[in-house]
Structures are given as structure tokens and as C-alpha cells.
Amino acid sequence: MVAARRMRGALARRAGRRSELLCALWLMAKGYRILGFRLRTPQGEIDLLARKGAVLAVVEVKLRGSAALALEAVGRRQRQRLRRAAESYAALRPELRDAAIRLDLMALAPGRLPCHIPDAWFGR
């Protein structure tokens, strides 16, 4: 039982890393500069941190059946943690202090191209 659970966890982590790499490549093709993967901060982990112009995009990567399911998978508390994590990260780097922080979603679904939703939870 424990071995099977460990195996599922390892497979999930591997799928997560592949998903994040695919999303990073997708964003780079759209002109974003990737600043980091799986950044750990005291407030939480940021899947991808990217910059394009004056925007600092905190990108949450979700592998789900649809973009709608991916949007629902990130609750209000998690979004607050992500924003706080980005603010603390940016505060320590002079080149990012004036950047506008935005929470983006990259939704991945089997058999579909990645779906990038900038400012995914605006007004939510």
C-alpha cells in the first residue's frame, strides 16, 4: 500500500515537472522571460514566474480535463498566497519592484494544446 502510494506521488511529481516545462516553453514562444520554476517562498510555492514588459506573471500550472476545471482548482486562499509570495519575491529584487503582479493560469488537458489565461482570476 505504501509503495503504491509513493509510486503515484512520484508519477504525479514527474507529470507536474513535465507540465511546467511545457508551459514555460509555451510562454517563451509568446515572448515571456522565465524567471524561475517551483520557487519556494515563506508564503508558498510559485509554479512558474515569468516576465513580459512591466508585468510579473505568477503562473499556476494545472493539469485537468478542461480549463474550467483548472480555474476551479485554485481557491481564493491559494490565490492570496500566490500574490503574497510574488510580492515578497519582487520586493527583494530591485528590477522587479515596480512590476505589475498578475496571476495567470496555464491549463493543460490531455490531447489539447496548453491554454494560457492571463489574469485568470481578475474580479474573483
Contacts of 77 (CB under 8 A, 6+ apart): none
Give the pLDDT confidence of 4-19 residue by residue, as tens digits: 888 887 887 887 788 8
8 is written with which cell numbers? Answer: 503515484
Task: Tell me what pLDDT residue 123 has.
Answer: 58
Strand partners, 76: none
Give the pLDDT confidence of 85-122 residue by residue, as tens digits: 999 999 989 999 899 999 999 999 888 889 999 998 87
Provide the percentage of residues in the chain whose pLDDT is more than 70: 98
Contacts of 111 (CB under 8 A, 6+ apart): none
Top pLDDT among 6 and 52 is at: 52
Q: What is the DSSP string of 34-78?
A: EEEEEEEETTEEEEEEEEETTEEEEEEEEE-SSHHHHHHTS-HHH
Task: Tell me what pLDDT residue 50 has.
Answer: 97
Phi, psi at 78, each rounded to 5°: -65, -40
Domain ranges of the chain: 17-117
> Could you tell me the pTM of the whole model?
0.86
Q: Is the pLDDT of residue 37 over 70?
A: yes
Q: Is the pLDDT of residue 124 over 70?
A: no
| CATH class name, domain 17-117 | alpha beta
